[in-house]
Structure 1
Amino acid sequence: MGELESINDSSSFHIQLLSKIIDMNQYPVIKLIIEHNLTRKEFNEMMDMIQGLNEAYELQKEEGLLDFTSLLIQFAGMLNEKLDPNQTIEALKLEGYYPLLMAEFSKILEDYDRKHRRR
């Protein structure tokens, strides 16, 4: 067990060193994954889920739907509990993942904030 702990300590140390020489702000999704300690499996599940939502978004958009709030709710509900939906959307948007879907989610959130700030 000591050898495994040593490997984990080394890996953690190496990641810390790399994060100091790389501008992690250029890679917000990777930064999010590291900061919230997502596993490869959790990352793959998240990306598969977003891919499915993106396909649903494209289909609904093609069919003329204008309100995609249900997709945002689905995203937030299915997102790994380690992640904040707003931060995740912003990171995905900044890094260029699913740009139309993330822009739509951001618009929905901005509209919601605007409506509820007035009250």
Structure 2
Amino acid sequence: MENKGYDTEMLAFHVRLLSQMSRADHYPFMKMILEKGLKEEEYQEVLFLLHTLHNKYEDQKEEGLLDYTSLLIHFAGMLNMKLHPDDTIEALRKEGMYVELMEEFKQIIIKDRYVETRFPVKAR
């Protein structure tokens, strides 16, 4: 059998993920993981990042903070290079994972894009 860039460890991981999915359209994040070819270790790193950021978000929210831009920057900077932050946020939100945090991130991105279009920075 020809090896098409998949090692057996990654293939076994992908089969386990697929077996958990009854319909791929209900699992956009899992679908993204498969399409981008993340290995199990990379997937676990993303989950750890999300768990850590969610805990920080809950702590900051409890302290009364209203701006979570630093968490979004941390997320974008530490996210696996195979994944795009915007697509990952949307996929996680749709899949029902860390929804409140993903909504915060989405609102920050929308606000920043609005500011950029309303008040573009001119090159000198």
Aligned mates of 2:95, 2:103 — CA distance in 1: 12
Residue 50 of structure 1: CA displacement? 0.6
Aligned position for 1:5: 3
**RMSD over aligned Cα atoms:** 2.7
- TM-score under structure 2 length normalisation: 0.78
Aligned position for 1:45: 45
Aligned mates of 1:23, 1:49 — CA distance in 2: 26
Aligned position for 1:105: 105
Residue 66 of structure 1: CA displacement? 0.7
Residue 27 of structure 1: CA displacement? 1.0
Higher normalized helix content (fraction of residues): 1
Aligned runs of 1:69-88 on 2, under 5 Å?
Answer: 69-88=69-88
Q: Deviations over 1:67-118 (max 9, x none)?
A: 1000000000000000000000000000000111001000000111111122
Aligned position for 2:62: 62
Q: Which runs of 5+ in 1 are unaligned?
A: none
SS at the partner of 2:111? helix
- TM-score under structure 1 length normalisation: 0.81
Aligned length: 110
SS at the partner of 1:65? coil
Aligned position for 2:35: 35
Q: Which runs of 5+ in 2 are unaligned?
A: none
Residue 26 of structure 1: CA displacement? 1.8
